[in-house]
Amino acid sequence: MSMHRRSPLQGTQRLARALALTAAATTALGMTLGGPAQAAPGAPGEPPSKQEVRAQVDQLYEEADRAAERFNAAQEYQKRLQSEADGLQGQVAAAQDELNRLRGDLNAVAAAQYRAGGIDPAVALMLDTDPAGYLARARSLNQAAERQSATVRQVIDRQLRLDQRRAETSAKLAELEEARRTLAESKQQIQQRLDQAQRLLNTLGAAERAGMALEDAKEAEQRATRGTDRLDLGDLPAPSDRAAAALAAATSRIGSPYVYGSAGPYAFDCSGLMYWSWRQAGVTLPRTSQAQMYAGRRVSLSEARPGDLVIFFRDMHHVGMYAGGGVVVHAPHPGARVRYESVNAMPVAGVVRV
């Protein structure tokens, strides 16, 4: 996307058609359809109004967005733990092989000493038909005994190290199991919110659902354009070539669906879009919005430049990329698509220059 002052709102018409054609846009997320409608405010027996449904669905989508970032964090933690556990298990196997070899050496020395140590050395020397040979063998045995002593010390040391590695591995595997449990819980929380939202949406007719999705996109467009028909991104340049490349990548994904846990190239969650876009610029960001808050230098919102990350909400559960002119590009929430949005549409927690 060229960074000029006045430009048509990229993808607006295409996005409007896509939203109209996908009346229940949430089906793109693999939601469970059907089921009883969730109770909503209103007279007993009356279905909730479109406004009531939208307010509750927006709340559920925000909760799902929060849970999605917890899911991403748990997934990244699990990957790291799995790698560490694999490394420790490899160290345990290598240490066991080394210990087995040392014990084999020790057994061989002990057997040689047993075979030669059944008679007093002075008597053996007098009776031996080859005293010089006996003395040579005795010296070898003494050397073997010294080596045996050193090997014993090595065996003890290796055993202690092996025990430590096994304990570390057991602890790491326990952490890994806990991370898997957290991941499953986060996924369940997301799906519960999405299912509740879908049941609410199912209380509306298809036309109402299509209208609500289109209305949401239209309101975002109006906020981004300040009620005009064109998008003014200003003329500030990106702070670096990489930031410009990351922004170009992000804007190229406008119209792509939000899918939790996804980081492109065809679907994204909020932090996944930032991760993918910066990867196209040769930079690997952390995977979650909370971690992305610390991925670079903090600047004030008034200093924001194209390509900067804008983290939203106190718990930092949402992130977008500054595009200029008080506008960000982001993956908004389940049921919506990557789009432009006013930076003032959500409370800003911080701005980060990568």
- Note whether 231 and 99 are same-domain residues: no
CATH number at residue 58: 1.10.287
Distance CA 52, CA 46 (A): 12
Told to judge if 270 belongs to the known catalytic residues of this protein, a careful annotator would answer: yes
d(CA 286, CA 273): 12
The residue annotated as part of the active site, out of 4, 317, 318, 333, is 318
Looking at 156, 175, 201, the residue that finishes a domain is 201
Q: Render pLDDT for 40-62 as a digit per residue (tens, 0 to 9).
A: 444 555 777 888 999 999 999 99
186 and 220 housed in the same domain? no
- Domain count for the chain, please give it: 2
Does residue 206 sit within a domain? no
User: Can the peptide bond before residue 265 be classed as cis, meaning omega within 30 degrees of 0?
Assistant: yes
Which one of 104-118, 158-172, 175-189 scores highest in mean pLDDT? 175-189
Confidence of residue 90 (pLDDT cuts 50, 70, 90): confident
CATH number at residue 259: 3.90.1720.10
Residue 314 lies in a domain: yes
pTM attached to this predicted model = 0.68
Q: Is 131 helix (H, G, I), strand (E, B) or coil?
A: helix
Q: Is position 4 annotated as part of the catalytic site?
A: no
Active site residue 317: no
Q: Domain boundary residue among 163, 181, 201? A: 201
Q: What is the pLDDT of residue 215?
A: 93
Which residue range forms the structural domain that includes residue 257? Answer: 7-32+213-353
Residues 177 and 228 in one domain: no
pLDDT tens by residue, 216-264: 999 999 999 998 889 999 999 999 999 999 999 999 999 999 999 999 9
pLDDT in tens, 263-298: 999 999 999 999 999 999 999 999 999 999 999 999
Residues 193 and 218 in one domain: no
- Residues 6 or more apart in contact with residue 70 via CB below 8 angstroms: 182, 186, 189
